[in-house]
Every structure is written in C-alpha cells, then in structure tokens.
Structure 1
Amino acid sequence: MFELITKYENLKAEVEKHSYLYYVKNEPVISDREFDSLFDELLEFEKAHPELVTDDSPTKRVGGEPVEGFTTVEHSQPMLSLQNTYTREEVEEFDARVRKGLENVKFSYTAELKFDGVALSLVYENGKLSRAVTRGDGFKGDDVTSNAVTIRSIPLSVAGDLKNFEVRGEVYMTNPQFEKINKERAENGDKLYANPRNTTAGSLKLLDSKITASRNLQIYCYSLLVDGTEQETNEKNAEILKEMGFPVSPHFAVCNSVDEIFKFIDEWDARRTELPYMIDGIVVKVNEKKYQDELGFVARAPRWAMAYKYEAESMETQVLDIQLQIGRTGAVTPVAILEPIFVSGSTVSRASLHNADYIAEKDIRVGDYVMVEKGGEIIPKVTQVVLAKRPNESVPFEFPAEIDGAAIHRNEGDAAHYVSDKSSKTIIKRKIEHFVSRNAMDIDGMGERIIDDFVEKGWLNNVADIYDLEQHRPDMQELEGWGEKSTTKLFEAIEKSKTQPYNRVLFGLGIRFIGEKGAKLLTKNFKSITELENADYDTLKAIHEVGDVMAASVVDYFNDEDELNIIGKLKRAGLIFESDEADEPQSDALAGQSFVFTGELIRMTRKEAGQIVENLGGKQTGSVSKKTSYVVVGDSPGSKYDKAVELGVTVLTEDQFFEMIEGLVGFKYSY
C-alpha cells in the first residue's frame, strides 16, 4: 500500500508541475500529447484505486457532478470596490488627497492592469484549497469552489510553511477563448455572448462544473492575506504569491510620483490591444501597508487606492454593405455589415445604423472606412466616417421602396421607415419573438430558429397561435431534434406563461411605442384590457407621461380588428388581462420621487432596484433631468452620473439608497 500511495503522490505532483509550467509560467517542457498521456495515466490509476483519491487531485479540474445551488459565505475581510477615475485631473486629485493624508511622508504607489474580470477569494486551510468565494456584495459571496477547481492555474494545494491563508485575484477569459465559444454558439444557432467579463461571471455560476471546465478560465492573483492582514507592501505580496505558485500579472510597476503613474497609464493605453485578454484601466494603490492603514476607508472604498478607467476602444474598419432588418412593429433598421474587426474583447462584424437620419447625419456609405467602438463595452456603434479614405465612386445610401416584395414607407415626423404589410412573415416572426421574450411572456424553449420553423410550416400566424400548438404535437415530435421530452418541456413553458401578470401580457402584445414602463403605466390606470380598449385619445392623453404618440398608437391598435381578434383568442386561452391587487404599489412612501440608476449594482440588478422604487410608489426613469430626485450610482457609472453632478441632482451610493429604503419600510432587504 505504501508503494501505491508513493506512486500516486508522485504522479499527482508530476501532473501539477507540468500544469504550473504550462498555465502559470507559460513555459511548457513537454508536448501537449505527452501531458495528455501523463494525465490519462493518473486518471487510470484513480479508477483502479478509488480509495486513494484525494480532493487536491488534478483530475478534479475536469469538473464533477452538477450541484443544486451555491451557498453564501461571509468574507473574512470585506472585498471592497475601488473609486473610479476617468481623467488625469482626477488622478492628480487622488494623489493630492493621499499626500495630504500622509503629511508628506515618503511612500510609493503600485500600478497594475485592471482586468475586466470577476473578483474571487481563495481560502486555503492546512495548505489545501478549502473554498473559493465570489465577491458578491463585498461582505458575502457565493461559494463556487466546485467551479474554481477547474481553473488550472489555481493551485489545489501549496507546499511551504504557510498553511492557512487567503488569496484574492481576478478570474478572466482570454479573447481567443471567448471568440471560440461564440463561434461554436453561432454554428449551433445560439445567441452570442456579449463580452468576456459577463461570460466569465456566468461560467463561475454554472451548476455543472464540467461546462465551467470547458470554458478554460484563467486567474491573476494580487493579494495575500494571512490572519486577515496583507504583507508589508503590495510589491512583497506579489513576490510571495509568485514564489508560492500563484499566477501574478507580469505587468506591474512601483511608482514614486504621479508622473510615473501617468507613464504606466499611457503605456498600457497604447498597448492594451496587444494583450490576449480585456483590461479596462489601471489600478493604483499606495504600496506600503502601514500607510494604507493610516489612510483608511471612505464608505465602501479605500482612500489609498483608485481605478483609472480607459476610454472605450475605437477601431477602424470598412462598411461592406448596409442591410435592412424588419422588427416586430414593422420598423426597418439599417445595419452596417463590417469587415470583421476585434474591438473590446470580441469580433465585430455588424453595427446598427438606427435610421435614415443617423445615416444622413454621419453620411455613412457602403465602401466607407469608419471608426467603431462599443457603447458600454457591449454594443458596437459607428462613431464617424474616415473621409480621407472614401472611395471616389461612393454614393449616398438611400432606402429602397420595398424589402422582399413588401413596400416600406416613412410617415411624417417618424424617425424610422416601416413595412406596410402586417402579414409579412418577417414581422410575424419578430412579433412572436417579442411576445415569448424574457421580459414579456418568458416562454423558455421558443428561440428564433424554432419560431422561424413554425411560422414557415404555417403553425404560427400570430402570437395567439402559440396556445393552439398542441394540435401540432404529433407532427412536432417527428421533427429532427424533437421528442416527447422536449415537446413536453415546451408545452409546460407555454402553460406557465398563462400566469404572467397583465402588464407583461400588454407589453408582449407589441403595441408600437409601448415598452415595459409604458405597459406598467397603462395597466396602473386601466385595470383591465377592456377599460384600455374603450379609452379614447383624450382619456389616454390626460394621463401623466402619456404623450401624443403613445395615445395615438394605443387608439390605433385597438381600432384594428385583427388585433382585437388576437386578444380575444388570448383571453380564451386563459391569459391574464386584469390587474391584481398584488400588482399595486405596497405604499406611497416614495410618491412623487423619481430615481435613475447607473453603473453596476452589487446587491441586485438595476431592474430589481427599480421595482422596489415602484413598489413604494416612486418612479424609475432612464434619463437624468432637473426633475430627477435621486441618481443611484453603482460600480463604473456612465454619463448619467456626470449629468447628475452637472445639474446638482442628489447622488446616492448603493448603500445610501438601501439605507433610505430600509428606513422607509422598517426592515432590512435580503439580497
């Protein structure tokens, strides 16, 4: 038995050594084939001797059985967010505050890349990885150990004198890996992921760790805590982590002045496209731990650190074509087909041009070279034309008279063109896609490909036909990829959708100019679809926030016999077309108050926070004006924060917002 244990430990050590050389040091000494052979040898040994298998075996990295959920764990020390800065003046102000706080003592800064990833805490007990916890709200997070062990650059065990400690780092996905995942999804007809950061966050929260293992996540570590305390300097922290076998970013500098900070910032602003992963700025910290302690914290952020955020990356590419897409209301959206270009973490090959006015204002033409960036690092947009490169033969873009045989028109005062024929299959498909979407009826399993197929087969001619699909069940089960299990799942989702509240049904109908908020507003003032149907233009217009366009659109919709017939079928199917008392605001504590949310909230989504405001009689809006009561700022706020400061609107941190809410309701919200 002793010989078997010795062989097993040596085999594990050999696999871990080569994993470290490959994933951390990037200096492999054996081929991939040789490594695979060594790994397979370990797997076979464990199959033959399951009684010897230990939790720190490298084979655990391939993922285990799916889990039912994640438990919440409190952090030993809070994982706080950093104050964001966007200008050189703000960096200088940070430096001035630090120097004032330290009363002219000699100190230094460290500057390092700000990875656009997900913060993770790794806790080691007796030299072995005990648990991995997400940042969460900064004070407690989710235990994702089953997924973290699949990250090959995270040591499962550590040799040396230090046995009990915590390491913090940033989990990320490389750009090539993100591209590979999206390519596979595109080939399967699945919706593409938005960016590497969101995909990383989602991967860490998957219940099936085998899928997480396939995502090939990476980590860079930056903090070592022993007994809740970091080492004497950030620089020393990095050195010790590296010696212990943790991956540490090689792009790290000690700066003795603000000018040296700017030099580091400028260098990586110019070089960030060279990196195989996304960064969105530079993290600057006071290097010495004793001075960090002296400076302390303000609210949820340290006074001794800040994050400098880069401007959105802008890249040049060519417009190969301008194509027209038809939406659920018949609106025609022009889309630029671009020479593929890698921007902010993903390859961009399309960008919305919105409408004819947008194209005319920027004079975008087929063949033009244009600058493309991503709004919020997610949505591609054409920002300007490179006129110096415009081909001599280029001509202004003009909308055609028809698309696929359907005439299009533009009403006076409208920004968009519209398809005149409501029976267009494209419009029918877009309407059904909207109806089944998550924020409307939320019918899981009815994706674009399925809707396209069912419309082409004549099974779906409008949204109400969804509730008559049962008659096609036998034929459906004969289709490729369908069977008893998948059809049953779809019909369960359809049946479940009948419980959606009135406001979501109304939103799902796709009335032009009636979005989610508009639907809530109408269902609040008209307690049933019958009341709304009988409302005239003046009655609608008298409601605060219902303008001419919305009122006219609602009247037009309910004057359409085809739409009324569809509503009749939906009623007979059992959908809810009346308000429930539970939908009413729980109190009027925030009556007359309007809130705007910007940035990433930690405790819940902006939508969920907005729902709290509405439940208390307040209003959530999407833009800031002098009439706005409060702007609630989360992590990485956008231009709405700047607008609030400019207009003198009261700005609340996320903590201040929840303190206000909890003071009004008299109890603490659970998150």
Structure 2
Amino acid sequence: MVAVESWDEVPAQARRRHAELAAEVEEHRVRYYEQDAPIVSDAEFDTLMRELEALEAEHPVLVTPDSPTQKVGGAAAEGFAKVEHRERLLSLDNAMDDEELAEWAERVARELDGIDYHYLCELKVDGLAVNLTYEHGRLVLAATRGTGRVGEDITANVRTIKEIPHQLRGENIPALVEIRGEVYLPTEAFAELNASLAAENDRRRAENEERASQGRRPHALLRLFANPRNAAAGSLRMKDPQVTASRPLHMVVHGIGAREGFDIDCQSHAYRLLHDWGLPTARHNRVVGTLDEVRAFIRQFGEQRHSVEHEIDGVVVKVDEIALQGRLGATSKSPRWAIAWKYPPEEVTARLARIQVGIGRTGRATPYAVLAEPVKVAGSMVQYATLHNQEVVKAKGVLLGDTVVLRKAGDVIPEILGPVEDLRDGTERAFVMPSHCHECGAQLRPMSEGDIDLRCPNAQFCPAQVRERIAYLGGRESLDIDGLGYVAATALTQPLEPKEPPVKNEGDIFGLTLDQLLPIKVLVRDQKTGMPKLDDATGQEKQVTFFANLKGEPKKAAGLLLTNLAGARERPLWRYLNGLSIRHVGPVAAQALAREFRDLDAIFAASEEQLAATEGVGPIIARSILEWFEEDWHREVLRKWREAGVRFTEEAPAEEADRPLEGLTVVVTGTLAGHTRDGAKEALVSRGAKVTGSVSKKTDFVVAGDNPGSKYDKAVQLNLPLLDDEGFTVLLEAGPAAARAHLGLPALEEPAAEPAAEPQQVTPAEADQG
C-alpha cells in the first residue's frame, strides 16, 4: 500500500507556488469566462494551468474542489438568469504536441483493445460555448456553458442569430434535445465591428471637446474587442437583444447533450441529423481510421487555418462511436474520449517599449511597435509589429508603456491588436507622430486629398526610400536577384565618405562594377539593440567592408551579385514594371499591363483611358503610372536600364493567342490539388478570364478546392456553377461550354447583338470629370 502524502509533508515552496498559481489562474478564468476581458493570451493561460496541474499531480493533497483545475468554465454572469443544464457540459483536455496526442490515443487503444473504432476530426472554433434546448422542435432555452452545470439564460439574444432555427424542421423531431455548439464572429466581421467602434469613438471625442467647453459630462468611449472570441461573447451578453441582432454572429454545432425520443450510433451521424433539422453544422469534419490520418488533418488545417471564415485555435479529435464514448467515460471536468490539439499561439501579450516610424519605398511613414523584450508567437521570436499609420495607433488606443495584444497569423507581419487596458498603471503616455522624415528631414504630408497616410515627398534623394526600393527591386516579387537583399541594398545606397554611394537610385543597378563594390563598408551593429558598435581604439562607429575581405579581395557575394545582375536583364516585362515601385502598381496590375501592352514604352505612351480600360487596373492606377513617368529622373532610370541591355518588350505566350476564357468572371477559393492559389489565378487570367475576390450573380464559375470558406456558401446560395479540381482542368483545357457540360448544365445561349448606340458629343469639361 502506497503512503499518501499529508499537507504538512508538502514542501513550503510548493504550497506557496500552488496558492499563487491558483489565485492567478482563478482571476484569469473570471476575466475570460465571466467578464470577457482577458489580460493574458490563451497560450499564457494554458502555461499557468499546466504548471498548476503538474504541481497537483506531484502533490495530490493540494487538489481541492475550489481548485481551478476542478472547474469548468466560469460562474454565470450577474444580470442574466441562472439556468441548469440537463446534462453537464465538459471542457476538453489539451494536447500541445504530438507526444501528448499519441499518449491520449494509446490510452484509448488500451481501453478499447480488440474493438474497432474511428476518430472524428473537427476544427476547434474559438467562440463562446452555447447550449440550445429544443422541446418538440421548439427552441425554449439558450444558455452559456457557465460552470458546466449552471449557465446564463441568453435565449432572447440567441434568437436574433439568423441561422439558429426557432423551430426544427423535417421528420422525427424529438421530444427533447440539448444541442451544443460555438457562437462566433467571422474574422472579417470582427475587423469591421472594431472599425465601427473606433469610428464612433472618434465622433464622441470630437463631441466631447464641445461638451467640455460647455461644462457638460463627456461621453464614455467604447472599448474595442481584443479578438473575435471576446467580440462574440460580449455581443451575446448585451442587455439589449437589438444590439446583438446588429452584429453578424454565427454558430456551428458540435454535440448533443440530454435527449429523449431518439438514439444515435456515431457522432458524425448525429451531425447529419442536426443538419437535416436545419442546424448549422461544420463542413470540415472528417472521420478517419488511424492516428496518422488525424495528424494529416491537423497539418492540413495548420496550413489553411486562415482561409477558414472563423478563428480556430486547434483541432478536436473524438472517438466517433457513441457507445464507446460512454465506455471511455469522463473525469470530473473532461471526457476521456476526446482531446483538443492546440496550434502554436498566434496571440500573446507583451509590453510596448516605444513606437518608431519607418519610411517605405513609396515614402509612406509607417509607425511600428518595438516590444520591451522579444516574444515567441506563431513559432517565431518577434520584437517588432506594424501599426500601419498614425490613425490606426489612435483608433486602437495604444499608449507607450502599454501591455498589448500581439498577433502573428502565419507568415503575416506581426500586428498590435490593442492594449490590455486593465493593466495600465498611469505611467503610459500617448504617441506623437513625427512631423519630418528622420532620414532626410523632409516634412511629412499627405500626397493627395483624402490620403490618411503621411509620406516623405523626397522620393529621389531620401536614403530610406532609395534603400527600400532597391531591396524591393531585388526581391522575389520583382527581379528576384539572389545577392540583392536588404543588407546588400543598405550597403549599396549608404554614402562612402567623401564619395557618393555607388547606387543613388534604381538606374545605377545594372551599371555596377567590381571596382565600385570593393570599397563599400557597412556599420557593425549590436544584435540585441540594433545600435552601431563603437571601435575600441578610436571610439568611432565600427565599419567593415561588405564585398571585400581583409586583404581587399572580392568576396563571393561580389561575384554573385554581378553575375545575377547580368542575368536579370532578361526578366518578364511585368517584373520590371513592378520593380519601379510605382504607387498602387503591384504584381497583379503589372502582369495585367504587361499582357495587354507587351512593351514598357507602349505602357507609358498610352492614355489614361487606355490604361484604365485594362482589366484589373482602373483610373487610380492609370493616373499613378502617368504621374510617375512625368518625373525626369524616373525617365532617366529607364534610359540607363535600356543602355545596360534590359529588354522592355516580350512576345505573347502561345496559349494566349485565342484567349478562350475571354469575358468570364471566375472566383477561386480553397486549396486545389493541382495548382497553388496564385497559379490557378494566373492560368485563368492568361486565358482571358477575370478573377475576382468576391462572389456575385455575375460570377460565371466558382473554383472550390478543399476548405473553401464563405465564398463556397455564397456560391451555393446563388446556385452558381462550382468546379472542383477535375472541373477546373476541363475549364482550362476545353473552355466554359465543356466545363458546364462536365457539371451536367446546359450551354448558355449567346446574347442577341444590341444595336449600335448613337455617338455622343463629350465636352472637354465632361472628359476631365470622367
């Protein structure tokens, strides 16, 4: 018999740490579940909870009914009636890595030794858990999870969610059923909601100035939501259901609680039944037979998690067979037949040390946050995050010294979502946008009427703009020159006292020689602070040659750069056009213009109307192109490139000779097996189709791969032709008629020719207005 440790035998340090952790975790539970105002990220909360669980596993005597490890969710909030669930709502244990997932699967296998079973994989929606109760098909109660046994009655608010039926449809409606799911706010709707709240705050600030002058009490400012989950929870807890109704909440159901009058054999079969009753079920669920297939599902949505319409923070894996779920049972808080795989966190909290302003290649002044310490988010260490412009800083209410919520979605640049206001101590201060460029001294200003962004107008000589443009020119989206990265661009464009830098602008790139490269020196910077190091002997900023070794001989980097520059003289036309950093002209517009004109001189010789008529260009881009060409030094760049042997013309590819998809409008969504998203779009555009980002009645085809998202739903709603991988191949190889035939649809009739319109006289004034 094993002796049980007594309270007095637990080391004092362990008891103290347990008390500290229990108090801290409990505070975070209350903030998350009851106040919808967390001050730490989910990942940070999980770390604290795991430490608490580890302590209690080592010293079981520390476990009490009041411990946060023994609780599910939070207490019912004040102001809403408390209701008891007929069947308890449990929370899920987490697997943070493959080892923990495998351990769970091994436990299941041991318990079910010799029995066939399957895994049901589904996305873990980051929303608010809600329990719907239907009696004889009528929605009689909607409640939050609460403690798992007692939740909040939010029936009036849930009734405003359009996709939740007030009456179940179909046959065999049960006498009673509890249906569990997550209410969420789509990511796009979340951004729009916060933008509307920020706009309302701007209106209130303006009105408050007048109210202050009159001695009247100011309007309170609205709090922006930290993430979609908090936005959904806050919206469902509104005292006024009309406010809830104004917000585009959705729900996805994922389970059944108490039930009378029907039986189910598998969880996946239950979802089909719920769908038939008119309830919103997930489209991404998958039943698999092996753990390797579970891992494949986890990998797939780890790569595609941002193409789903709602936030997900993991994958839920369940034993599909209901009878076996009962055999496996549950702990006091979690089912043993299910586990939640958690993806690496994409949101963390960190302290904002300062805000600096960078000048981009088109002169835009962009504030960016510098964190006090690097933090790990989405699998990488970051210390900087974008804040877009001074208006975004104001709208997000970020102050210097704040603890902020930082997000890094996939490969996207880290972004500050907002401050954790509850952690302010009064020492925080407002950010003031600088009035002048810190690199050239030019006054920052909007470059056009209505432009929110401030820009440095010194495009020709500003060191920051020249450096950024050269780096972009060498990047993958432009000329893709190996050896011309950001560090090389910095070295090439910085002054060589007393001489000028070898690259004063883009025009100098193709004329570089080895003699110009060898003297170039760069500052040696501290890896932690980024500040220049000082020479111990002289006290001056320490410099080293970049393209030459200590003997003055060329490094490999010098030869590599010159060789690759020579090869870059024959790139596709669109790459040169994109590399010129013309405002508003990105890769998509550059490719469209290259396909249309096939000659750079022809592009700059075209009228604004001709440029704007190009598919995907429009008047703003057209005007920007002509304004760029009006600058003498811009034309000098082109002259130097031409003299260096750059080719500005190209022949049309053979497959574009007849443009078989001319006039079609196509939307591509989801992941295709045979094409990347960009590759699919390029294949369509090269054949004459117009590829758009939104589905409408004017869309001819929607190409839908795996995990297509809301565009798929809109296409189904509008009854549009949907092409899978095979159908997409038919469209590309045989045209639209064959694609419709592949779907079993009739061919479209050719529209009757319209009579020619009478020519109209247009005055010069009308032409200018156009």
Q: Give the TM-score normalised by the residue count of structure 1.
A: 0.54
Q: Secondary structure at the match of 2:518?
A: helix
Identical pairs, percent: 28
- Cα 1:98–1:234 shift into 2, 3 Å: closer
Aligned counterpart in structure 2 of residue 465 of structure 1, from 508, 528, 550: 508
| 1:98 is aligned to 2:269 | yes
The 2-side partners of 1:260 and 1:641 are apart by: 37
Alpha-carbon offset, residue 360 of structure 1: 2.3
In the alignment, what sits opposite 1:4? none
Alpha-carbon offset, residue 109 of structure 1: 9.0
In the alignment, what sits opposite 1:426? 464
Alpha-carbon offset, residue 99 of structure 1: 5.4
| 1:520 is aligned to 2:591 | yes
The 1-side partners of 2:517 and 2:253 are apart by: 66
- Structure 1: stretches of 5+ with no match in the other structure: 1-80, 103-107, 120-168, 173-194, 199-232, 236-252, 273-278, 281-311
The 2-side partners of 1:337 and 1:114 are apart by: 41
Aligned counterpart in structure 2 of residue 362 of structure 1, from 396, 399, 403: 396
| 1:407 is aligned to 2:447 | no
Amino acid at match of 2:396: K
1:57-79 deviation line (CA, Å, top 9, x unaligned): xxxxxxxxxxxxxxxxxxxxxxx
Aligned counterpart in structure 2 of residue 453 of structure 1, from 453, 476, 491: 491
Aligned counterpart in structure 2 of residue 566 of structure 1, from 608, 633, 637: 637
Alpha-carbon offset, residue 591 of structure 1: 1.9
- Cα 1:598–1:406 shift into 2, 3 Å: farther
Does the aligned pair in 2 maintain the 1:505–1:576 contact within 8 Å?
no
Does the aligned pair in 2 maintain the 1:333–1:355 contact within 8 Å?
yes
1:319-373 deviation line (CA, Å, top 9, x unaligned): 2211111111111111122243332322332221112232222222222222222
**What does 1:320-399 align with in structure 2 at a 5 Å threshold?**
320-339=353-372, 340-376=374-410, 378-399=412-433
Q: Secondary structure at the match of 1:318?
A: strand
The 2-side partners of 1:265 and 1:520 are apart by: 54
Mean CA deviation greater in 523-532 or 634-643? 634-643
Does the aligned pair in 2 maintain the 1:586–1:615 contact within 8 Å?
no
Does the aligned pair in 2 maintain the 1:630–1:651 contact within 8 Å?
yes
In the alignment, what sits opposite 1:178? none
The 2-side partners of 1:389 and 1:414 are apart by: 34
Alpha-carbon offset, residue 637 of structure 1: 4.8
Alpha-carbon offset, residue 402 of structure 1: 1.0
Alpha-carbon offset, residue 646 of structure 1: 6.6
1:541-578 deviation line (CA, Å, top 9, x unaligned): 34454333212211210100000000111111121212
- Cα 1:470–1:109 shift into 2, 3 Å: closer
- Cα 1:377–1:470 shift into 2, 3 Å: closer
- Cα 1:343–1:645 shift into 2, 3 Å: farther
The 1-side partners of 2:122 and 2:337 are apart by: 17
In the alignment, what sits opposite 1:300? none
Does the aligned pair in 2 maintain the 1:587–1:615 contact within 8 Å?
no
Amino acid at match of 2:505: N
The 2-side partners of 1:619 and 1:265 are apart by: 51
**What does 1:153-168 align with in structure 2 at a 5 Å threshold?**
none
In the alignment, what sits opposite 2:349? 316
In the alignment, what sits opposite 2:682? 611
The 1-side partners of 2:482 and 2:666 are apart by: 32
**What does 1:569-580 align with in structure 2 at a 5 Å threshold?**
569-580=640-651
Q: Secondary structure at the match of 2:432?
A: coil
- Cα 1:520–1:492 shift into 2, 3 Å: same
Mean CA deviation greater in 599-608 or 93-102? 93-102
Amino acid at match of 2:466: I
In the alignment, what sits opposite 2:622? 551
- Structure 2: stretches of 5+ with no match in the other structure: 1-118, 126-180, 182-251, 257-263, 274-286, 305-317, 520-546, 740-770
**What does 1:243-322 align with in structure 2 at a 5 Å threshold?**
255-256=325-326, 263=334, 272=342, 279=343, 313-322=346-355
Q: Secondary structure at the match of 1:399?
A: coil
Aligned counterpart in structure 2 of residue 498 of structure 1, from 565, 569, 575: 569
Mean CA deviation greater in 452-461 or 579-588? 579-588
Alpha-carbon offset, residue 318 of structure 1: 2.3
The 1-side partners of 2:288 and 2:597 are apart by: 60
In the alignment, what sits opposite 1:138? none
In the alignment, what sits opposite 2:518? 475
In the alignment, what sits opposite 1:416? 453
Alpha-carbon offset, residue 640 of structure 1: 5.1
The 2-side partners of 1:467 and 1:517 are apart by: 25
Mean CA deviation greater in 603-612 or 567-576? 603-612
- Cα 1:639–1:320 shift into 2, 3 Å: farther
Does the aligned pair in 2 maintain the 1:594–1:629 contact within 8 Å?
yes
Alpha-carbon offset, residue 441 of structure 1: 1.0
Does the aligned pair in 2 maintain the 1:328–1:431 contact within 8 Å?
yes
1:613-655 deviation line (CA, Å, top 9, x unaligned): 1222113344555544444444555565566567666554444
Q: Secondary structure at the match of 2:583?
A: coil
In the alignment, what sits opposite 1:185? none
The 2-side partners of 1:621 and 1:446 are apart by: 33
Q: Secondary structure at the match of 2:507?
A: helix
Aligned residue pairs: how many? 420
The 1-side partners of 2:630 and 2:409 are apart by: 39
Alpha-carbon offset, residue 197 of structure 1: 7.5
Does the aligned pair in 1 maintain the 2:378–2:409 contact within 8 Å?
no
In the alignment, what sits opposite 1:165? none
The 2-side partners of 1:348 and 1:385 are apart by: 18
- Cα 1:648–1:453 shift into 2, 3 Å: farther
1:31-76 deviation line (CA, Å, top 9, x unaligned): xxxxxxxxxxxxxxxxxxxxxxxxxxxxxxxxxxxxxxxxxxxxxx
Amino acid at match of 1:571: R
Q: Secondary structure at the match of 1:382?
A: strand
The 1-side partners of 2:553 and 2:715 are apart by: 52
Alpha-carbon offset, residue 525 of structure 1: 3.2
The 1-side partners of 2:466 and 2:255 are apart by: 56
1:279-321 deviation line (CA, Å, top 9, x unaligned): 37xxxxxxxxxxxxxxxxxxxxxxxxxxxxxxx7432222221
The 2-side partners of 1:485 and 1:98 are apart by: 63
Alpha-carbon offset, residue 496 of structure 1: 1.1
**What does 1:43-122 align with in structure 2 at a 5 Å threshold?**
85=123, 87=125, 88=181, 89=252, 91-92=254-255, 97-98=268-269
- Cα 1:614–1:533 shift into 2, 3 Å: same
Q: Secondary structure at the match of 1:581?
A: coil
The 2-side partners of 1:531 and 1:368 are apart by: 53
Amino acid at match of 2:398: I
In the alignment, what sits opposite 1:164? none
- Cα 1:115–1:433 shift into 2, 3 Å: farther
Alpha-carbon offset, residue 473 of structure 1: 5.8
**What does 1:530-541 align with in structure 2 at a 5 Å threshold?**
530-541=601-612
- Cα 1:254–1:475 shift into 2, 3 Å: farther
Does the aligned pair in 1 maintain the 2:370–2:383 contact within 8 Å?
yes
Q: Secondary structure at the match of 2:368?
A: strand
**What does 1:206-217 align with in structure 2 at a 5 Å threshold?**
none
Does the aligned pair in 2 maintain the 1:368–1:390 contact within 8 Å?
yes
